[in-house]
Amino acid sequence: MEPNDCRNCEIRSLALFGEISSEGVDQFAEQTYQVQYPAGATIYEQGDKPEAAFTLREGIIKLVRNSGTDRSQIVRLLVKGDLMGIEGIFEEPYRQSAIALTPVRVCYLPLPMLDRMRTEEPRFTEALLGRWRRALNEVEELAVELGTRKAEERVAAFLLHWQEKAEHDDDNWMPFPLSRTELGQMLGLRVETVSRVLARWKREGIFEERSSRLRLLEPDCLDQLLAQGTETATAAHRE
């Protein structure tokens, strides 16, 4: 819990400060703190009054929206460099809960500091804009999957997207910290459905899994599966 050296942050290029001048960063750095949470911890809860936003430095976080239903929906997965909880600068309660899927390290960015940045650093607002835009894009994509694809396709699409997004190390092994239930909460499916699909694909050698990591062996297989839903779309371009 001590002030950061944000100027030399190893993920600064990814993070919010990456888009702000080094001198600009320095004056704010001392007001931020790094915090760690174990897997399963709640960083903040939907509906709570925000006192800070967070940059994710290490680990993976799910943003969960609870809504009326007994089923909750994961609306986004965050990886290194992602920003969360920034809705606070609009005097708005947190719109989702942020829950660690792995042990995580986050930067704690107090709201008053962010408010000052917003007025003093024009680039800051620009940076936020870019983030919000990308977030919107991701959620829209999720909505499309949920609205137009069936179970198998959703799982396939997820795995392929996730491979892009998550940092797959040396030999295509990527982190896969979601339980079957959670994957279901992301894709609008029940545990059993997810389990069946994955179990079958594992048998068929389409991917392998080891201690919360996963590797696609036949990504083309999944591509094809998605392409099948597409064939009419490529031929006739209307609907």
Partner DNA sequence: CGCACGGTTGAAACGAATCAACAGGAGTGG
Partner DNA sequence: CCACTCCTGTTGATTCGTTTCAACCGTGCG
- Where along the sequence are the contacts to a second copy (CB under 8 A)? 65-73, 75, 87, 90, 95-96, 122, 125-126, 128-130, 132-133, 135-137, 139-144, 146-149, 185-188, 226-227, 229-233, 239
Q: For a second copy, give the closer residue by CB, 9 or 114.
A: 114
Please report the DSSP string for 80-99 in residue order.
Answer: TT-EE-GGGGGT---SSEEE
The stretch near DNA (CB under 7 A) out of 17-25, 49-57, 95-103, 174-182 is: 174-182
Which entry of DNA, a second copy, none binds 73, CB below 5 to 8 A by partner kind?
a second copy
SS3 59: coil
Which 40-99 positions form the footprint of DNA (CB under 7 A)? Answer: none
C-alpha triplet 106, 172, 165: angle, nearest 5°: 45
Contacts of 222 (CB under 8 A, 6+ apart): 156, 159, 160, 206, 216
Helix intervals (H) in the chain? 22-29, 111-120, 122-148, 151-165, 180-187, 191-203, 219-235
The answer to whether 78 touches 60, Cβ cutoff 8 Å, is yes
Instruction: Report, in Å, the least distance between residue 102 CB and DNA.
Output: 14
Q: Binders of DNA: how many residues, by CB under 7 A?
A: 19
Q: What letter represents residue 21's amino acid?
A: S
Under rule CB under 7 A, residue 121 binds DNA: no
Q: For a second copy, give the closer residue by CB, 133 or 200.
A: 133
Which of 120, 146, 153, 115 is CA-nearest to residue 20?
Answer: 120
The answer to whether 4 touches 10, Cβ cutoff 8 Å, is no
Which entry of DNA, a second copy, none binds 141, CB below 5 to 8 A by partner kind?
a second copy
Q: x/- binding map, residues 178-217, to DNA, per CB under 7 A?
A: -xxx------xxxxxx-xx-xxx-xx--------------
Instruction: Report, in Å, the least distance between residue 198 CB and DNA.
Output: 5
List residues binding DNA (CB under 7 A).
Answer: 150-152, 179-181, 188-193, 195-196, 198-200, 202-203
